[in-house]
C-alpha cells in the first residue's frame, strides 16, 4: 500500500540538523543506556515525578475530595484536547480514560449499533487485543468477522466497519489513512483507526480525513507512563448518535443527579465510563508538557532520518534482513535467528529494544530523546552481538 500523499511522511530528504531539537535532557534515561523501545513504553519526562509529588501531597493529601471540583473532574476532556492537537482533532472530540482494549470495544460497538450489514473487517496483522475485541463485538452483534490485509480489504456493501492499525506493530509499516478511509466510505462502511504506534510519531489529520472513530494508547511515544489511560476520538457530528455500550455514570448527562435511568451526555463526555484514574491521568497530563512546542512535521522528518540512519548501518554491518518497508512509522524491525537471546544480550550491553517471537527484533526511535549517535552505536553493538 502506498504511503499517504503528505510531505512529512514520505522518505526523508535533506534534513536541517539545527532545526531538529533533541530534548534528551528533559527525560530520565539512565547513563549509558540507548533506549530504543519507545514503541512499547516511552521514557519518563523528568518533571513528571515532581508534578506527581504535588498531586499526591497537595491535591490529594491537602485538598482531599475538594480536588474533584478543582480540575480532576474535567481532566479526561482537558487532556483529551491536548492529545487531540497531536492527532488532528478539533477540541471536544477526544476523551482520555480506560484502556485501549476498552476503547476499541466502545468504538466498534458504536459503529455497528443498528447496522443491517453483516461483517466486521479486521487488519489481519493487527495487534492481538484489537482482534480479540473485534471477535467479541462480532459475537455480541451477530456479525461475521473477516481478517484481511490492508492492501486487499475487498470491502463490500456487507461491510459494517473496518478496524485498522495506522502502523503495524511488528514491521513498523505505515498504512495510508486517507486512501483506506476513502475506500471504506466508498462502500458505506465506517472505519476505526488504532493510533497506538503513530500518535506522537507523525502528523495525523483525523478531522480532515473524515475518520469515523480512532483510539490509541498514551504510554508509547506520548510517554504517559506504564498503563497510562488510553483515548478515544469521536467526531462532533457522530457524538449525538454514538451509543457507548458501557453506560457508566461518568458518561451521564447529569452524573451527580443519581438518576435511575441512563441519559448520555450530548458531547464527547458520553464516551466516559467510570471514575477516572486520576493519578495515572495527571501523570500523563504532566508528560504531555514536552509536546507543547513540538512541530510534528519537523518531528516526523527527524524520525525518518533516525530510522534511515539505523537501517543503513544495520544492513551494512550485520547482513540481517530489515523487514520494515520504506513507508514506516518510527520503528525498524529486523529478522534475526534466536531473537530473544540476541535482545537479552543487547539489553545487557545497554541497548534496550524488544523482540516478537519467533525471530523479530524491534527498535522504536523516539526523536525527542534518541540521537544520531545512539542509532549508529546501537547498530554497531547489534553487529558485534550477532557476529
- Cα–chain center distance at 281: 16
- For 211, residues 6+ apart whose C-beta sits below 8 A from its C-beta are 177, 181, 191, 193, 233, 235
Identified catalytic residue from 219, 221, 242, 363? 219
> Please, are residues 211 and 162 in contact by the beta-carbon 8 Å criterion?
no
- Judge whether 127 counts as a catalytic residue: yes
Identified catalytic residue from 106, 220, 272, 311? 220
Q: SS3 for 228? A: coil
Q: Does 219 belong to an annotated binding site?
A: yes
- pLDDT for residue 24: 85
H helix count then E strand count, the chain: 11, 13
Q: Does 249 belong to an annotated binding site?
A: yes
Q: Does 7 belong to an annotated binding site?
A: no
How far is Cα 174 from Cα 176, in angstroms, rounded to an integer?
Answer: 7
CA-based Rg of the chain, rounded to a whole angstrom? 21
- pLDDT for residue 15: 42
Q: Does 128 belong to an annotated binding site?
A: yes
Q: Does 197 belong to an annotated binding site?
A: yes
- Judge whether 194 counts as a catalytic residue: yes
Q: Does 280 belong to an annotated binding site?
A: no
Mean pLDDT rounded to a whole number for the chain: 94
Class of domain 49-291: alpha beta
- pLDDT for residue 385: 98
Identified catalytic residue from 362, 365, 369, 374? 362
How far is Cα 333 from Cα 166, in angstroms, rounded to an integer?
Answer: 16
* Joined grid coordinates for residue 289: 508538557
- Judge whether 219 counts as a catalytic residue: yes
Q: For residue 219, count CB atoms less than 10 angstroms from its CB and return exposed for 0-12, middle for 13-18, buried for 19 or more.
A: buried
* Joined grid coordinates for residue 237: 457530528
Q: Which of 252, 270, 274, 250 is nearest to 261 (CA)?
A: 252
- pLDDT for residue 23: 84
Q: What is the pTM of this model?
A: 0.94
Q: For residue 139, count CB atoms less than 10 angstroms from its CB and return exposed for 0-12, middle for 13-18, buried for 19 or more.
A: exposed
Residues of the chain below pLDDT 70: 1-21
Identified catalytic residue from 27, 35, 127, 369? 127
Residue 326 Ramachandran class (φ > 0 left, ψ -120 to 50 alpha, else beta): alpha
Q: Does 127 belong to an annotated binding site?
A: yes
- pLDDT for residue 299: 96
Identified catalytic residue from 194, 277, 354, 374? 194
* Joined grid coordinates for residue 283: 501523570
Q: Which of 77, 88, 106, 57 is nearest to 202 (CA)?
A: 88
How far is Cα 119 from Cα 141, in angstroms, rounded to an integer?
Answer: 10
> Please, are residues 104 and 194 in contact by the beta-carbon 8 Å criterion?
yes
> Please, are residues 253 and 266 in contact by the beta-carbon 8 Å criterion?
yes
Domain 17-44+293-386 and domain 49-291, same fold? Reply is: no
**Overall fold of domain 17-44+293-386:** 3.90.1150
- pLDDT for residue 21: 57
Q: Structural domain boundaries of the chain?
A: 17-44+293-386, 49-291
Amino acid at each position: 500500500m502506498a504511503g499517504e500523499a503528505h510531505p512529512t511522511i514520505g522518505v526523508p530528504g535533506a534534513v536541517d540538523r539545527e532545526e531538529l531539537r533533541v530534548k534528551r535532557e528533559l527525560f530520565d534515561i539512565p547513563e549509558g543506556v540507548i533506549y530504543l523501545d519507545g514503541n512499547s513504553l516511552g521514557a519518563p519526562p523528568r518533571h513528571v515525578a515532581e508534578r506527581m509529588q504535588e498531586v499526591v501531597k497537595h491535591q490529594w493529601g491537602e485538598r482531599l475530595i475538594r480536588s474533584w471540583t478543582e480540575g480532576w473532574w474535567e481532566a479526561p476532556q482537558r487532556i483529551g484536547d491536548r492529545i487531540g492537537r497531536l492527532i488532528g482533532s478539533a477540541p471536544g472530540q477526544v476523551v482520555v480514560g480506560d484502556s485501549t482494549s476498552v476503547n476499541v470495544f466502545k468504538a466498534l460497538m458504536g459503529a455497528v449499533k443498528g447496522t443491517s450489514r453483516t461483517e466486521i473487517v479486521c487488519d489481519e496483522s493487527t495487534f492481538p487485543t484489537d482482534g480479540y475485541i473485534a471477535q467479541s463485538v462480532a459475537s455480541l452483534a451477530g456479525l461475521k468477522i473477516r481478517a484481511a490485509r490492508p492492501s486487499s480489504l475487498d470491502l463490500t456493501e456487507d461491510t459494517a466497519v473496518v478496524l485498522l492499525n495506522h502502523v503495524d506493530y511488528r514491521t513498523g509499516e505505515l498504512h495510508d489513512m486517507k486512501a483506506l478511509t476513502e475506500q471504506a466510505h466508498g462502500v458505506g462502511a465506517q472505519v476505526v483507526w488504532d493510533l497506538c504506534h503513530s500518535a506522537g510519531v507523525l502528523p495525523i489529520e483525523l478531522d480532515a480525513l473524515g475518520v469515523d472513530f480512532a483510539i490509541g494508547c498514551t504510554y508509547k511515544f506520548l510517554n504517559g507512563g506504564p498503563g497510562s489511560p488510553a483515548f478515544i476520538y469521536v467526531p462532533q457530528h457522530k457524538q449525538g448518535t454514538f451509543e457507548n455500550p458501557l453506560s457508566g455514570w461518568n458518561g451521564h448527562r447529569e452524573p451527580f443527579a443519581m438518576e435511575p435511568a441512563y441519559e448520555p451526555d450530548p458531547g464527547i463526555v458520553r464516551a466516559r465510563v467510570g471514575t477516572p484514574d486520576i493519578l495515572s491521568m495527571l501523570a500523563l497530563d504532566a508528560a504531555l508538557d514536552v509536546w507543547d512546542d513540538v512541530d510534528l512535521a519537523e518531528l516526523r522528518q527527524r524520525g525518518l532520518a533516525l530510522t534511515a540512519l539505523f537501517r543503513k548501518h544495520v544492513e551494512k554491518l550485520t547482513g540481517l534482513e530489515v523487514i520494515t518497508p520504506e513507508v514506516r512509522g518510527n520503528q525498524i524491525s529486523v529478522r534475526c535467528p534466536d531473537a530473544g537471546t540476541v535482545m537479552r544480550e543487547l539489553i545487557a550491553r545497554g541497548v534496550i529494544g524488544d523482540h516478537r517471537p519467533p525471530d523479530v527484533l524491534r527498535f522504536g526511535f523516539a526523536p525527542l530523546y534518541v540521537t544520531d549517535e545512539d542509532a549508529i552505536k546501537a547498530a554497531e553493538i547489534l553487529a558485534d552481538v550477532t557476529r
